[in-house]
């Protein structure tokens, strides 16, 4: 089976649902990884993208009750519930005056008590502080919620937010598209069609977006393949997705805490299969917050060409018990990529190159000796 898949991939032939399933079941993990790596290197060579971004989560108050979520607090008065004032949110960016991020990434709970103008002001304020900063804000789920809650069409919501400064949409909230699974883990927010429709509209307006998949909970491999193929189908139509981002389920403190988290082998395989199935999506992202930096580093050989950015204030995975630090410094990201033998490319949100770093001089090991000697002189 793997042989025929390999042949298809090398001939540029599109893989089928069954191929995807077979890849998930293939016992030889490295063979799957190697094939995904081939595709990745054909597209991007050693180039590996990251950016200087900043996460802001302005509210964790949320009307939805997703089983996998350790972040949201259902109502505003509950302990731990918190909604930032606009000034508080803006301050995050103001504090970074000396080291400004190129992107602000906002993801929130579905707060029933805020006026729509809050979000418009939020965006305007960020742009006032830094007119160049790219605002990648509000998942498809949030946009859908805004449309329902504030009684507008999706297009109207997007147009008003764009007028206030919105540049693109993040990929969160996709979870698993399969209707049965989705009903069981997050029944009270945008369904698959509604989620995809938000992206369809955004793409038709010329906005780009990302898309995610939350795996490793109650879904099957077939559900994952189905999910990835729905992404592929919409991408055929709109070409608006920039990156696909598999997100590993983390069980701490949420409604599925009895489930074990997916293990590294599953993480790597999922990335590799995504790379192989999504022949029309340019980038596969190994989101280091979800994977830990160690596994993200290995993932750069399993199909991923992007490891997200410096992040700084991530609180969603933190609440679910990830072992990852909340932020990685710019130099740490560069080093992480170089240690994997890849070329670090700082990008902006739309994948324009901001700065290209040299790849570690090959052979990797001999360079190290030189560096170490220098380092030792400093300490001894």
Partner 1 sequence: MSTLRVIGVEYLNARPLWEAFRGDAAAERGLGAGIVDLRLAPPSELARALAEDEADVGLLPVAAAAAMGELRLLRNMAIGARGKVRSVAIVAERPIHELDSIALDLSSRTSVVLTRLLLARRKLAPKLFGALPPQAIASIGDRTGALIIGDPALDLEDRYPYRLDLAEDWFDWTGLPFVFAAWFARPGAVSRDQEDLFRIAKQKGLARTDQIAAEHSARSGLSEESLRSYLTESIRYDLGDEELAGLQRFWSEGAKAGLLPAATPTFEEPRTSVSRPSLDSILLRAADGERLSASDGVRLLREGSFFELGLAADAVRRRKHPKGVVTYIVDRNVNYTNVCTTSCRFCAFYRPVGHPEGYVLSREVLGQKLQEVKDAGGVQILLQGGLNPDLRIEWYEDLFRWVKKAYGLGLHALSPEEIIHLSQLEEISVRRVLERLHAAGLDSVPGGGAEILVDRVRRKIAKAKCTSAEWLDVMRVAHHMGLRSSATMMYGTVDTPEERIQHLMKIRDLQDETGGFTAFFCWDFQHESGTHIAPGDNGTHLYLRTQAVARLMLDNVDHVGASWVTQGPAVGQVALRFGADDFGSVMFEENVVSSAGTTFRIGAEAIEKRINDAGFKATRRNVRYDWLTEPS
Distance between CA atoms of 198 and 61, rounded to whole angstroms?
22
Distance between CA atoms of 256 and 251, rounded to whole angstroms?
6
Is 357 a residue that touches partner 1 (CB under 8 A)?
A: no
Binds partner 1 (CB under 8 A): choice among 43, 155, 162, 335:
335
**Residue 104, φ and ψ in degrees, nearest 5:** -110, 130
Question: Looking at beta carbons only, is 26 or 130 nearer to partner 1?
Answer: 26
Residue 154 CA, distance from chain mean position: 22
Structure tokens that stand for 363 in this block = 């052979």
Stretch that binds partner 1, among 164-172, 199-207, 226-234, 330-338 (CB under 8 A): 330-338
User: In terms of Cα–Cα distance, which of 191, 213, 124, 199 is closest to 169?
Assistant: 199
Is 297 a residue that touches partner 1 (CB under 8 A)?
A: yes
Is 76 a residue that touches partner 1 (CB under 8 A)?
A: no
Question: Looking at beta carbons only, is 237 or 364 nearer to partner 1?
Answer: 364
358 bridge partner residues: none
Question: Looking at beta carbons only, is 151 or 374 nearer to partner 1?
Answer: 374
Site string for partner 1, 15-34 (x = CB under 8 A): ------------xxxxx-xx
Is 7 a residue that touches partner 1 (CB under 8 A)?
A: yes
Is 58 a residue that touches partner 1 (CB under 8 A)?
A: no
Task: Give the DSSP letter of residue 359.
Answer: P
Is 339 a residue that touches partner 1 (CB under 8 A)?
A: yes
| C-alpha distance from residue 280 to each of 138, 231, 299 (Å) | 24, 10, 20
Is 43 a residue that touches partner 1 (CB under 8 A)?
A: no
CB atoms under 10 Å from CB of 248, counted, come to 25
User: In terms of Cα–Cα distance, which of 247, 203, 202, 206 is closest to 227?
Assistant: 247
- Find the binding residues for partner 1 in span 232-271 (CB under 8 A): 260, 263-268
What is the nearest approach in angstroms of partner 1 to the Cβ of residue 227? 20
Question: Looking at beta carbons only, is 122 or 268 nearer to partner 1?
Answer: 268
**Residue 249, φ and ψ in degrees, nearest 5:** -65, 130
- Find the binding residues for partner 1 in span 104-133 (CB under 8 A): none
Question: Looking at beta carbons only, is 131 or 380 nearer to partner 1?
Answer: 380
What is the nearest approach in angstroms of partner 1 to the Cβ of residue 164? 41
Strand duo 343-347 + 353-356: pairing: antiparallel
**Contact partners, residue 326, CB within 8 Å, separation at least 6:** 311, 312, 313, 314, 315, 318
Q: Rounded to a whole number, what is the distance in angstroms from the first to the last CA of the chain? A: 57
Is 289 a residue that touches partner 1 (CB under 8 A)?
A: no
Positive or negative: CA dihedral 228, 234, 237, 243: negative
Binds partner 1 (CB under 8 A): choice among 16, 292, 315, 343:
292
What is the nearest approach in angstroms of partner 1 to the Cβ of residue 22? 13
- Find the binding residues for partner 1 in span 304-323 (CB under 8 A): 323
Binds partner 1 (CB under 8 A): choice among 141, 228, 345, 360:
360
Stretch that binds partner 1, among 58-66, 137-145, 189-197, 293-301 (CB under 8 A): 293-301
**Residue 343, φ and ψ in degrees, nearest 5:** -100, 115
Question: Looking at beta carbons only, is 16 or 34 nearer to partner 1?
Answer: 34
**Residue 308, φ and ψ in degrees, nearest 5:** 65, -155
Run of H or E including 45: none
Give the residue carrying structure tokens 């147009």: 159
Stretch that binds partner 1, among 47-55, 141-149, 180-188, 364-372 (CB under 8 A): 364-372
**Contact partners, residue 176, CB within 8 Å, separation at least 6:** 182, 185, 213, 214, 215, 217, 219, 223, 224, 227
Binds partner 1 (CB under 8 A): choice among 19, 20, 23, 37:
37
Question: Looking at beta carbons only, is 352 or 378 nearer to partner 1?
Answer: 378
Binding site for partner 1 (CB under 8 A): 3-4, 6-7, 10, 27-31, 33-34, 37, 260, 263-268, 292, 294-295, 297-298, 301, 323, 335-336, 338-341, 360, 363-369, 371-373, 375-376, 378-380
């Amino acid at each position: 089976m793997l042989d025929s898949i390999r042949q298809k991939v090398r001939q540029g032939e599109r893989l089928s649902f069954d191929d995807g399933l077979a890849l998930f079941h293939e016992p030889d993990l490295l063979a799957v990884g190697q094939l995904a790596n081939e595709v990745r290197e054909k597209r991007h060579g050693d180039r590996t993208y990251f950016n200087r971004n900043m996460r802001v989560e302005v509210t964790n108050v949320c009307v939805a009750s997703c089983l996998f979520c350790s972040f949201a607090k259902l109502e505003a008065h509950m302990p731990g519930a918190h909604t930032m004032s606009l000034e508080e949110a803006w301050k995050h960016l103001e504090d970074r005056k000396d080291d400004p991020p190129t992107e602000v990434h906002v993801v929130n709970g579905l707060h029933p008590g805020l006026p729509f103008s809050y979000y418009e002001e939020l965006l305007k304020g960020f742009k006032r502080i830094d007119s160049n900063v790219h605002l990648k804000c509000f998942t498809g789920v949030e946009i859908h919620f805004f449309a329902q809650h504030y009684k507008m069409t999706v297009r109207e919501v997007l147009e008003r937010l764009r007028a206030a400064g919105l540049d693109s949409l993040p990929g969160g909230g996709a979870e698993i598209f399969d209707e049965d699974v989705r009903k069981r883990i997050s029944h009270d927010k945008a369904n698959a069609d509604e989620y995809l429709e938000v992206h369809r509209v955004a793409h038709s307006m010329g906005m780009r977006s990302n898309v995610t998949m939350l795996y490793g909970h109650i879904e099957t491999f077939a559900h994952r393949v189905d999910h990835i193929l729905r992404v592929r189908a919409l991408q055929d139509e709109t070409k608006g997705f920039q990156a696909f981002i598999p997100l590993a389920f983390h069980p701490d403190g949420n409604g599925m805490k009895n489930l074990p988290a997916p293990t590294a082998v599953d993480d790597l395989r999922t990335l590799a299969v995504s790379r192989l199935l999504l022949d029309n999506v340019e980038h596969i992202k190994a989101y280091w917050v979800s994977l830990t930096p160690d596994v993200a580093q290995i993932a750069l050989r399993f199909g991923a060409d992007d490891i997200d950015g410096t992040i700084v204030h991530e609180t969603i995975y933190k609440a679910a018990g990830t072992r990852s630090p909340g932020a990685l410094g710019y130099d740490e990201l560069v080093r992480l990529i170089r240690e994997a033998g890849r070329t670090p490319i700082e990008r902006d949100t739309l994948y324009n190159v901001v700065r290209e770093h040299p790849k570690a001089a090959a052979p990797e090991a001999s360079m190290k000796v030189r560096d170490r000697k220098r380092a030792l002189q400093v300490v001894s």
